[in-house]
Structure 1
Amino acid sequence: MDKNMQSQVKKDYFWNTMGSGITAVFSVVVLWAVTRIMGPYVGGVFAFGYAVSQQLQTVGAYEIRTYQATDVREVFKFETYLAARIITCLAMILCAVAYGFYHEGFTEEAIVLILICMLKVFDAFEDVFHGMFQQHKKLYIAGKALFYRMLITMLGFVLFLYITRSLLISCILTILISAVAVFYLNVPEAKKMVSIRIRFQWNQIKGLLISCFPLFVGAFVLQYLSNLPKYGMDQYMSKEYQTYYSILFMPAFVINLFSGFAFKPLLTSLAENWVGNQKSKFMGTIVKGLLIVGGLTVVVIGGGYLLGIPVLSWIYGVELAPYKTEFILLLLGGGFSAAGVILYYGLMVMRCQKLILYGYILTLLISLPFSGMMTQQWGMLGASLLYVGLMLLRCIILVFSIWWGMRSSRKKEKGDLSHEVF
């Protein structure tokens, strides 16, 4: 690898790490600000709204980014990706409005929920530019744009909340500055690489949306699985418990964060290894990722057991001592979740979208009978046990899916298509 290539890789890793890091820090800092300034109940309103926004972000993103970044043969042009993303983001906005008024009625809490979802629309929309940057092996541009946009959004939200003491007004003002940041941090750089004309070529858009549909449904179901404990608590427990659960869940996200650091920059090369029939390198990268996730999980659980509860209680100003068992369970679930991300990336690169979809739907069908019951009977402990069980079950099914996908690939190479599943 020459010096220019080494410099490029370093920039990609650095800015991808900065962008992913600030994304994780955003929810931590904003929940802290809302809880400290407005109290645990309003903190719960924000926490539940943020969970719904993450759910609906899967509609806006439509899981096109991963497909786009690994589209090394450029089956679809950028103008198709851009037009499709506009359509999916409009669908996300409509879903947010419908869900907000359905769930909360015509109240201020419904409007706040919709506005929180609007903040996530920008995450979904700018991602189409970031996929193009990564596709052109300029991931550092995407990471830099994401970092500065999230930093501006986060600081603006906290400042507006401190001044106005209103979650609703803070969301409105933050939406305005986030819109400006998305445009100026992404469009000028994108113009240097591609045409950003918006052309609705419906046959191309339809082909892209059909290709990504299994990935979208899988991502939507996965986010639903991750949110099931919160949905159960919203049904049977007061809003304060959304705050407690979200605080305890924050460190679990660290493991997922580091799995993203390791794998997002490798997606394109992972795809090239698969397309180039270098299966041993492909599988070696996945196994290495799983080992890293396992080591991180052990470290985070150890640190969480010793220091987690006192530190989190001090930072957020709420008493969390009764929930130490729940905290450790959530950290363990975070490890299983991160392992599932590695396996998901592998299956996506293999273009086994249907296997991903089948696996997630199977996980959902198995878990649905237990979701409400566990939260209703055991409260926070039941919600935490539910999360661990969901993430473990998902991992087991995805491991089997990887094995089946590799087996089917070998059959295909030998000319036996009787086992073709994708």
Structure 2
Amino acid sequence: MISKDKVSVKSSKLKKINISNQDSLNVSTKQNYVWNLFGTASSSLISVILLLFASRLLDSHNSDIFSIAYALGQQFFVLGYFQIRNMQSTDIQEKYSFRSYHNTRIVTIIMMIIASVGYVFIQGYDFYKSAIILLLVLYRAIDAYSDVFQGYFQQKNRSDLAGKVQFYRSWICIIVFGFSLLLTKSLMISSIVICLINLLLTVILDYRISIRNFNTSFSPSLVKDLSSIFSILREAFPLFLNGFLITYVYNEAKIDIDLLLTQGHFSNGIQRDFNVLFMPVFVLSLLFFILRPLTTQLSIYWYEQKYELFFKQIRLLFVVMTALGVIIIGLGYLIGTEILGLVYGTSLVEYKVPFAILLAGGILNVLALVIDIVMTIFRKQAYLVIAYIATFIVAKFITIPFVKGEGILGASLSFFISMIIFFSTSIIIYIWVNNNDKRKRS
């Protein structure tokens, strides 16, 4: 049994948290969900629309380069992001200051840039392809920096502010990139422009909102904050490793297609076509973060020991996600490839089955992400490393032979099998951890 003293201390802390957040809860509960919906949807759509512009306005060679460059930008973004947002947004007791989270993000972004330069050098890409990749990595690095402010807004129960930043940033970048590509027909120039605009938006949006709403003051001095930086990196590492491995699983087929395309196994356009088919799957995983405000509420339920409400909410999430998944797969098979082909200007009708397989894998991934959030609230996320490593190993072994033998169908099958491994191992770990915790709680 839990002692009364411990419960009293915990309740006292929670009262302070609830009182400090009461004004923001009263003022912006609805706005939190509405703006978070707009912001997350816009952030999810940006990759869809940028690929649309590249597909429509560039030749197949350049659209292939953009496709792999954006995929690699997302891969290295995980290093810059380092999954610190999950820790930061659920740190309702403010174990670490915003300054420490901010300084840690600076360190991870430096690591991101260095790693991307090393990757391009090792791959031996030509100057043009290398420059495009590094520019899109820089663009995503700026996104990663912006995210630490958005995490701070969410931590203060102001997900509406984070949503506004995402919404305005996404649509301004979309419009600027589209007009630049339309006017110049140059992927290089447009990539430079979108980086500069994104940097400017960080100053206009993130800095201004944080100072105006929270009087944020912090020191960017890394040396003075080394202890907290190392502590945050250590705590976040399991989450980062998980995120990096699963993103690599998403990108494994794209990387293998790029390799085989370079070796002459495929003709130009296959990278673009697979990225178009995979885009709804990627958006599915991003749209899950519409539920970000709910993670803070779930954390409060957990720390207030309202276990019945907590697990009821989790069950509801699984039911809703599963029902939506069945509908999405059905519609995707019936009309998905026709709509995507019409929008992106390329014939995809022959890929009906691969597309449905990709969507099924995407739904399994979203269900596994629900487990990820719950395990983070439990502070038992380290256990999920097993699931991520198992998925990574399976994907690494099966993807290139599947892609080489069956092309896009093989890429779809390898992703689906990987997601089966991911979901099944995650659910087994969750059940085991939850059963152990139940015994302790009783």
CA distance in 2, matches of 1:393, 1:290: 18
- Aligned partner of 2:221 among 176, 199, 203: 199
Deviates more, 1:5-14 or 1:212-221: 5-14
Q: Which moved more, 1:229-238 or 1:249-258?
A: 249-258
The CA deviation at 1:4 is 7.9
Q: Give the distance between the partners of 2:246 and 2:185, measured in 1 at CA.
A: 34
Contact residue 255 and residue 297 of structure 1 kept, 8 A: no
Partner Cα separation in structure 1 for residue 306 and residue 387 of structure 2: 25
CA shift, 1:307, in A, is 1.7
SS in 2 for 1:212: helix
Shift of 1:399: 0.7
Q: 1:3 & 1:195 partners in 2: Cα distance?
A: 21
Instruction: State the alpha-carbon separation in 2 of the partners of residues 228 and 284 from structure 1.
Output: 36
Q: Partners in 2 of 1:370 and 1:398 — Cα distance? A: 20
How far apart, in 2, do the equivalents of 1:216 and 1:267 lie? 18
Whether contact under 8 Å (1:232, 1:383) holds in the other structure is: no
**Which residue of structure 2 lines up, in the alignment, with residue 252 of structure 1?**
281
Inter-partner Cα distance in structure 2 for 1:166 and 1:120: 20
Q: Aligned to 2:407, what secondary structure does the other structure show?
A: helix
Partner of 2:115: 95
**Alignment RMSD:** 1.9
1:34 pairs with 2:54: yes
**Which ranges in structure 1 are unaligned for 5 or more consecutive residues?**
415-422
Choose from 410, 415, 428 the match for 1:400.
428
- TM-score between the two structures when normalised by the length of structure 1: 0.93
What are the within-5 Å matches in structure 2 for residues 10-25 of structure 1?
10-25=30-45
Asked whether the 8 Å contact 1:244–1:320 carries over to 2, the reply is: yes
TM-score under structure 2 normalisation?
0.89
1:57 to 2:77 alignment: yes
Q: CA deviation at 1:275?
A: 1.9
Secondary structure in structure 2 of the residue aligned to 1:20: helix
1:47 aligns to 2:71 (yes or no): no
Deviation of 1:106 after TM superposition, in Å, equals 4.1
Distance in 1 (CA, whole Å) between partners of 2:170 and 2:132 is 20
Question: Which residue in the other structure is 1:213 paired with?
Answer: 237
Q: Which runs of 5+ in 2 are unaligned?
A: 1-21
Q: Given the alignment, which residue of 125, 128, 152 partners 2:172?
A: 152
Quickly say closer, same or farther: Cα 1:258–1:174, change in 2 above 3 A.
Answer: closer
Residue identity matched to 2:217:
S
Q: Mean Cα displacement is larger for which, 309-318 or 405-414?
A: 405-414
Quick check: 1:133–1:142 contact (8 Å CA) kept in 2? Answer: yes
Task: Answer yes or no: is the 8 Å Cα contact 1:145–1:185 preserved in 2.
Answer: yes
| 2:85–2:151 contact (8 Å) kept in structure 1 | yes
Aligned to 1:75, the other structure's residue is in SS state coil
- What is the CA-CA distance between 1:411 and the residue it aligns to? 4.3
Higher mean C-alpha deviation, range 280-289 or range 29-38: 280-289
Task: Determine the structure 1 residue equivalent to 2:318.
Answer: 290
Mapping 1:20-419, distance limit 5 Å: 20-191=40-211, 192-193=213-214, 194-200=216-222, 201-237=225-261, 238=266, 239-261=268-290, 263-413=291-441
Q: Deviations over 1:19-76 (max 9, x none)?
A: 1111121111111111111122211111111111111111101100010000011110
**In structure 1, distance between residues paired with 2:254 and 2:440:** 43
Contact 1:374 1:382 in 2 (8 A): yes
Measure how far apart 1:366 and its partner are: 3.2
Count of matched residue positions in the alignment of Structure 1 and Structure 2:
413
Amino acid at match of 2:58: M
**What's the CA shift for 1:389?**
1.1
Match of 1:419 in 2: none
